Amino acid sequence: MNRLRLWLLAVGGAGLAALLVAACLDLPGFGGRHHPYGDRAVQASLARHTANTISSVNFDQRAYDTLGEMSILFAAVLGCVVLLRQARDEHRAPPEPAEVARPVRRYALLVLPVALVTGLYVVAHGQLSPGGGFQGGVVAATALHLLYLGADYGALERVRPLGVYETSDAVAVCAYLVLGLASVLAGTAFLANTLLPYGTFNTLSSGGAVPLLNAAVGMEVASAVVVLLAHFLDQAVEIEEEHGS
């Protein structure tokens, strides 16, 4: 059986490789100038006073894609909550406090606030500079978990009431959808960025609905990552199976 798999892999891989290499040779050369959609996106972004074109594409021009992406994250978190729930034959055992070296602990506690603030800053400036809801959200959520290193698991659990994060994850998705639906109620297309003034170019409030959608995504990503990590940590640290089952 194993031999069959290797044969399949060799033939299939060689065939696909040949196809891909032939396709690469037909591609326009790396670094070419032909980007019609990209050029249009830059124009559209400038017309709506959004300095960071990528944010404009993500939260304005192709905001519907971002809705799908947000839903993927939402669904994956819900899926992990369901898949990593405590099964009937498992129980929780409080973990023994782990010994963490003092320098590590100091370092973690020092970095934690810096990382948190960086995350929030990156979220807030999404429409201006590189960064935005996704990046900032992940940074902030991961930063919170430095507490696991810096203090211990108990401390982490206290500042991390999971239910609140799960709710805020869902509320952020609701907020994004409601912002989209508002424009339908106003008689335009779903997720149309026409209700709010576009503001002054290169300021925090520029871009119409972009900062709001960006903030909703930031909130969603941060809470989602916290919930994800929490469930994996729970499995790794707390949940134990009954012996002899």
Partner 1 sequence: MADALIVVVLLLVAASATAAVAQRDPARQALVLSFLGTLLAALFTVLQAPDVGLSQLAVGSALTPLLIMLCVRKIRRRGRSKEDAR
Partner 2 sequence: MSTVMHVLPYLVAAYVFLTGCYGLATSRNLVHAVGCLAVCQCATYVLLLAVGYRDGATAPVFSDIAPGSRPVVDPVVQALTLTDIVVGATVTALLLALVLQIAKRHGTVDPDELRELRG
Partner 3 sequence: MHHLIPLLVAVPLLGAALLVATGRFLPRIAAEITGVVVSGGTAALAVVLLLNSEPPMVEWVGGWLPVGGESVGILVVGDGPALGMATLVSLLTLSALAYSWRYFDEPPTGHTGAFTALMLVFQGAMCGFAIAGDLFNAFVFFELMSVVAYALTGYRIDEAKAVQGALTFGVVNSLGAYAMLMGIALLYARTGELAMTKIGRGLDATGHSGPDALVLASFVLVLTGLLVKAAAVPFHFWLPDAHAVAPTPVCMLLSGVMVELGAYGVWRVYGTVFAGPGGIPAADLTRALVTLGTLTAAVGAVMCWYQRHIKRLLAYSTVAHTGLFLVGLGVLTPEGDDGVALYIIGHAGVKAALFACAGVLLDRFGSVDEHALHGRARRLRATAVMFAVGALGLAGLPPFGTALGKAVTEEAVGGPLTVVFVAASAITAGAVLRVTARVFLGLGPRPEDAEYETSGSDEEPETSGLLSRIPDTMTTVPAVLLAAALAVGVVPGFGDLVAASVNEAGSGGAHVSVHWTLHGVLLGVASTVLAVALAGLAVTRPAWVSAPGWAAPLRRLQSGHVGDYVAWLLMGATVLGALALPGVLGS
CB of 213 to partner 1, least distance (A): 15
Residues 57-116 contacting partner 1, CB under 8 A: none
32 CB neighbour count, 10 Å cutoff:
8
Helices 63-83 and 210-233 sit at what angle, rounded to 10 degrees?
Answer: 20
Residues 6+ apart with CB under 8 A from 165: 223, 226, 227, 230
What are the angstrom distances between the C-alpha of 98 and each of 73, 131, 150?
32, 35, 11
Q: Does 223 bind partner 2 (CB under 8 A)?
A: no
Q: Does 24 bind partner 2 (CB under 8 A)?
A: yes
Return the residue of 45, 50, 52, 223 that touches partner 1, per CB under 8 A.
Answer: 52
Q: Does 39 bind partner 1 (CB under 8 A)?
A: no
> Of the candidates 108, 131, 86, 83, which has an alpha carbon nearest to the alpha carbon of residue 228?
83
Dist CA 120 CA 146 (whole Å): 16
Place of tokens 């960006």: 214
Phi/psi of residue 109, nearest 5 degrees = -70, -30
What type of residue is 83? L
Q: Does 122 bind partner 1 (CB under 8 A)?
A: yes
Q: Does 33 bind partner 2 (CB under 8 A)?
A: yes
Dist CA 39 CA 36 (whole Å): 5
Of partner 3, partner 2, partner 1, none, which one sits near residue 51, judging by CB under 5 to 8 A according to partner kind? partner 2
Residues 124-183 contacting partner 2, CB under 8 A: 128-130, 134
Return the residue of 79, 130, 161, 197 that touches partner 1, per CB under 8 A.
Answer: 130
Contact region with partner 1 (CB under 8 A), list: 61-69, 153-161, 182-190, 221-229:
221-229
CA angle 176, 217, 124 (to 5 degrees): 120
Q: How many chain residues are in contact with partner 1, going by CB under 8 A?
A: 23
Q: Does 38 bind partner 1 (CB under 8 A)?
A: no
Return the residue of 69, 107, 177, 192 that touches partner 2, per CB under 8 A.
Answer: 69
CB-count exposure of residue 39 (10 Å: 0-12, 13-18, 19+): exposed
Dist CA 23 CA 200 (whole Å): 45
* Chain residues in the site for partner 2 (CB under 8 A): 5-6, 9, 13, 16-17, 20-21, 23-25, 27, 29-33, 35, 37-38, 41-42, 45-46, 51-54, 56-58, 62, 65-66, 68-69, 72-73, 75-77, 79-80, 83-84, 87, 128-130, 134, 202, 221, 228, 231-232, 235, 241
* Chain residues in the site for partner 1 (CB under 8 A): 52, 54, 122, 130-132, 134-135, 138-139, 142, 145, 225, 228-229, 232-233, 235-236, 240-241, 243-244
